[in-house]
Structure formats: C-alpha cells, structure tokens
C-alpha cells in the first residue's frame, strides 16, 4: 500500500459541469476527503512520506530540529553516506553488546555495514559525542520501554558512551528484562523495561497456530511492570513492533474481542493493526495518567525488518551488503501501516499530554532504517549449529552498526530540548568550555 497524497482517491481532475448531480458529487467528495485526511492526517507525518506530494507541510515545527539556529532541517530525511572513520567501538572495547547482535564474533565476514553515517538532506547530523551527551543528561534518567530492539538501542548507547565512562549495574532485580545502569560521574541512570506488547500480556500457548506462541494481549490494561516504575524518569523512549506479528488473542474489558491470526473459527480476526493501535493508545494513556511524571516521551518509530525470499520463519534472509539509496525503495505495506498507526496514536497522545504540559517527541528512525537491509545479524547472531528462534535475524541490528545512528538522532534532539540551561552548563563558572 502506497500513501502519497497524489494517489489518494478523488485526487484526479474532474470535468465540472454546473449540474446539481455534479455539485452533490463534489460535496460528497469534499466530505470524503475531509474524513480521509482526518483518519490519515498526512500533514502530521514526517515529510519523507509526503516529500514528493504537492503538499509541503511535512513536519510540524516542533519536530523539526535545526542543525543551526534559525534554520530548520528534517534530520530524518536523508541518505546514508560513506564514513571511513566508523566504527567508534568494537566488540573488544565494549562489553555491552548482546551476544545475538555481536555479529563479528559469529564470523560476519564483511565490515562495510559499520562504515556509513546518516546525512540529512538539508543539514549535517553530527556523529555521537559521548562527553556532550553525558553533560546534557547529568543528573537525569532515561528509560527504554519496549522489546529487544529497544534494548538493542540501549546497548548501542552504552557502547557509544564507553569512550568516556562505563555504567555500574544498579538493577533492582536479577531479571535481565529489567536492567538499570548508573553513570556515577554524571549521576545519569538508564534502564530497560521489557514489555514487547506495551500492555499486559501473557503467553497462552507456547506453540500456537504457527509454533511461535499464542499470546493473550489485554489491550486496555497497563503493563504495571513498567507503568509503575517510570514516573521518576526524565526521558522515556517507547517502541514496539515485531511481536505484534505473532498470533494473539485480544482482550478488552476482560472479554475476548477478537484476535490476530489465531485461526479459531469462532473468533474474529481483527488484524495486528487493531492490536497495535490499541496497545499504543493504552501505553500513552498510562504515561499521561502518571501524576508526578514530568518527563519527555519519545516514540522511537518502527524499524522495518528486511527478510527477503521468504518470511521470518520460512527461510527468509537478509544478505544485502549495501544500504539502499532513498530512490531505490520506499515505505509500503505492513511497514507503512504500522508506522502510520503508531504516529496517529502518538499525535493523539501528544495533544492530550499537552493539556498538562507533557512533551512528546518523535524519534523517527523508520525511513533511515528502511534503507539498511545490510545492518542485520542475518545468520551471524549465533553459531551455525545453534537452534534459535530467529535463525536468520533480519530484525535486530549488529553492533556496531546502523542502530548507533539512533543515538546520534537522540543526542541531536536532546540538544534542542536543552535550550538555555544547556548553554549555561556548557559555559561553566570557570569560563571555559567544558565540551566542544
């Protein structure tokens, strides 16, 4: 499914004659167009999706991050360009790389995939500066709420920061799903909260119709594992996606309302999009209902997988060795639908949050990652004889690798949030610039 404004129905020129029938048709068309743009508020989407359409709005002012004062630039619209200086850490300098994303360990033969940087069309995106990042987040806390792709980003962040400092483990539970790290010199805390569906969920059948498990998802119930923990956090980075592909039963008000691919005769298949939308709605509702929460919520948008020649459990793989250029592919189908769904729920939550002064920001990684079929572990996430669920992993990202750029984006956004207080901190009392 493509969704360019030019391709919306009724977009074609019509020969208008002054007859009542035509007038009625025009009115109906206008009403329909209004409904369509209400349901798919194109103008609210990042400009990359509408960049070749006749409408020019794209991002709202708040989403645009200028590399230079007074100049607005959409950092999420651009190309990957060669960067011979990368990578900035390796699997020997950084211990935080999850085994399944340690692609070099498992014999990935090429290293080209590490040597690219993201170049926004209209400005530069600086390479991650660990000292600057830590200075910005001094005394603050950051939570990664989501699944293993969220954890993937957190581990990239730990590795990027490792040139300055390693954190100490201050987890409150031995469970790997809930880790907490402290940067003692900066009093900066990061934490991960495992919640692949963002809402309350449980595995109902470890096999299910596709042998990948069948999950009960309680679409209107908070997942208290994270919602009771994040009130104190200054930054919450929320994301979800790939788990919604699995078969699941949807519950609302405690009642079974339908499912996704459960293949049960008496249960309506409401599609994964239904569950995805409701899960985000409930997650954002949880955030907006936290009385003491004053943090900034980032939606890290869906990062497409790159299975080719089959789906993930039917032999699909990702063997490309170069990024795409933006004219070689575009967001479509399931990826586009998931992206639009989450951004719509994000916009709605942002409006509600604004009433009580909460900030929402898009960490809009979708387009950049769509262009990186070469950045996944593929078969180099484990030894060849190991039996793992994702035999060819085209979902997660090798470290070091393109996911490091998410933290370039994050730093760039934090810089604009920092504003005046950041400038003051930069110029410390001894009059010297602490960081460049």
Ligand X SMILES: *[C@@H]1O[C@H](CO)[C@@H](O)[C@H](O)[C@H]1NC(C)=O
Residue 356: CB minimum distance to ligand X, A: 21
Per CB under 6 A, the list member of 325, 333, 351, 383 interacting with ligand X is: 325
Considering only 129, 132, 141, 317, the residue that binds ligand X (CB under 6 A) is: 141
Between residues 62 and 207, which has the closer beta carbon with respect to ligand X?
207
Interior CA angle at 32 toward 31 and 35, to 5°? 90
Q: Which of 47, 53, 77, 148 is catalytic?
A: 148
Question: Binding to ligand X (CB under 6 A): which residues in 83-122?
Answer: 91-92, 102, 104-105
Which residue in 70, 84, 139, 357 binds ligand X (CB under 6 A)? Answer: 139
Q: Which stretch binds ligand X (CB under 6 A): 9-17, 268-276, 325-333, 364-372?
A: 325-333
CA-to-CA distance for 328 and 364, rounded, in angstroms? 20
Residue 177's alpha-carbon distances to 145, 193, 196, 232, in angstroms, are: 10, 6, 11, 19
**255: part of which helix (H) or strand (E)?**
strand 255-260
When asked if residue 52 is in the footprint of ligand X (CB under 6 A), the reply is: yes
- # residues near ligand X by CB under 6 A: 20
Q: How far apart are CA 317 and CA 287, in angstroms?
A: 37
Q: Does residue 327 bind ligand X (CB under 6 A)?
A: yes
Least distance to ligand X, CB of residue 261, Å: 16
Residue 9 has a CB neighbour count (10 Å cut-off) of 9
Nearer to ligand X, 263 or 309 (CB): 263
Tell me the closest approach of the beta carbon of residue 319 to ligand X, in angstroms. Answer: 19
Shortest distance in whole angstroms from residue 18 CB to ligand X? 31
- The residue among 143 and 160 lying less far from ligand X, judged by its C-beta, is 143
Catalytic residue among 326, 396, 404, 408: 396
Query: In the complex with ligand X, which residue's Cβ is closer, 354 or 383?
Result: 383
Draw the binding track, 181-200, toward ligand X (x: CB under 6 A; -: no contact).
Answer: ------x-------------
Q: Which of 350, 222, 351 is nearest to 286 (CA)?
A: 222
Return the closest-CA partner of residue 265 out of 210, 206, 209, 197.
209
Do 364 and 46 contact (CB within 8 A), yes or no?
yes
Contact predicate 351/337, CB 8 Å: no
Give which of 29, 33, 32 is closest to 16, Cα–Cα.
29
CA 228, CA 206: separation in Å to the nearest integer? Answer: 28
**Catalytic residue list contains 396:** yes
Which entry of 63, 147, 393, 408 is annotated as an active-site residue?
393
291 binds ligand X (CB under 6 A): no
Greatest alpha-carbon span in the chain: 78
SS3 21: helix
CB of 199 or CB of 370, closer to ligand X: 370
Backbone angles phi, psi at 69, to 5 degrees: -55, 135
Tell me: does residue 248 bind ligand X (CB under 6 A): no
Q: What are phi and psi of 139, to 5 degrees?
A: 75, 10
Token digits of residue 400: 């070091």
- Among residues 256, 257, 270, 319, the one that binds ligand X under rule CB under 6 A: 256
Q: Is 140 helix (H, G, I), strand (E, B) or coil?
A: coil
Active site residue 408: no
- DSSP 8-class letter at 170: -
- In the shown chain, the binding pattern of residues 343 to 382 toward ligand X, with x for contact by CB under 6 A and - for none, equals ----------------------------------------
Separation of alpha carbons 369 and 257, rounded Å: 34
Work out whether 429 is an interface residue with ligand X (CB under 6 A).
no
Q: Which of 365, 378, 401 is nearest to 146 (CA)?
A: 365
- Catalytic residue status for 269: no
Residue 34 vs 187, nearer CB to ligand X: 187
Per CB under 6 A, the segment of 122-130, 154-162, 320-328, 369-377 that binds ligand X is: 320-328
DSSP secondary structure string for all residues of 294-337: --EEEEE-------BSS-TTTT-B----SPPPTTT----HHHHH
Q: Rule CB under 6 A: is residue 387 a binding residue for ligand X?
A: yes
- The reply on whether position 207 binds ligand X by CB under 6 A is no
**Which residue number, 308 or 386, has a Cβ lying nearer to ligand X?**
386
Binding site for ligand X (CB under 6 A): 4, 6, 52, 91-92, 102, 104-105, 139-141, 187, 256, 266-267, 325, 327-328, 330, 387
Query: Which residues form the catalytic set?
Result: 148, 393, 396
């Amino acid at each position: 499914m493509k969704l360019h404004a030019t391709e919306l129905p009724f977009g074609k020129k019509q020969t208008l004659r002054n007859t009542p029938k035509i007038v009625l048709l025009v009115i109906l068309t206008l009403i329909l167009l209004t409904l369509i743009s209400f349901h798919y508020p194109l103008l609210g989407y990042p400009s990359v999706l509408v960049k070749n359409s006749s409408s020019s709005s794209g991002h709202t002012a708040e989403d645009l991050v200028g590399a230079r004062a007074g100049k607005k630039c959409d950092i999420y619209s651009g190309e990957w360009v060669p960067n011979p200086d990368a990578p900035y850490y390796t699997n020997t300098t950084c211990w935080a790389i999850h085994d399944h994303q340690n692609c070099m360990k498992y014999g990935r033969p090429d290293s080209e995939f590490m040597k690219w940087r993201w170049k926004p069309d209209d400005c530069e995106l600086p390479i991650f500066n660990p000292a600057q990042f830590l200075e910005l987040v001094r005394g603050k806390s950051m939570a990664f709420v989501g699944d293993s792709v969220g954890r993937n980003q957190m581990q990239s962040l730990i590795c990027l920061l490792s040139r300055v400092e390693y954190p100490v483990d201050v987890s409150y539970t031995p469970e790997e799903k809930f880790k907490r790290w402290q940067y003692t010199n900066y009093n900066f805390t990061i934490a991960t909260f495992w919640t692949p569906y963002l809402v309350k969920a449980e595995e109902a059948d470890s096999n299910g119709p596709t042998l990948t498990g069948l999950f009960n998802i309680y679409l209107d119930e908070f997942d208290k594992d994270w919602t009771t923990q994040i009130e104190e956090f200054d930054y919450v980075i929320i994301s979800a996606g790939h788990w919604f592909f699995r078969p699941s039963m949807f519950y609302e008000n405690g009642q079974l309302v339908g499912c996704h691919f459960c293949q049960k005769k008496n249960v309506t298949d409401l599609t994964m999009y239904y569950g995805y939308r409701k899960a985000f709605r409930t997650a954002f509702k949880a955030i907006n209902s936290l009385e003491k929460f004053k943090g900034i919520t980032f939606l890290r948008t869906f990062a497409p997988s790159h299975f080719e020649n089959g789906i993930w459990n039917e032999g699909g793989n990702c063997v490309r060795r170069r990024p795409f250029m933006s004219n070689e592919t575009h967001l479509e189908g399931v990826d586009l639908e998931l992206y639009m769904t989450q951004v719509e729920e994000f916009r709605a939550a942002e409006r509600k949050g604004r009433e009580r002064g909460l900030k929402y920001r898009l960490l809009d990684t979708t387009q950049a990652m769509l262009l990186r079929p070469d950045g996944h572990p593929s078969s180099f996430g484990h030894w060849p004889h190991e039996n793992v669920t994702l035999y060819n992993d085209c979902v997660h990202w090798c470290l070091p690798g393109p996911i490091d750029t998410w933290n370039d984006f994050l730093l760039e956004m934090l810089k604009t949030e920092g504003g005046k207080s950041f400038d003051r901190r930069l110029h410390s009392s001894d009059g010297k610039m602490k960081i460049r």
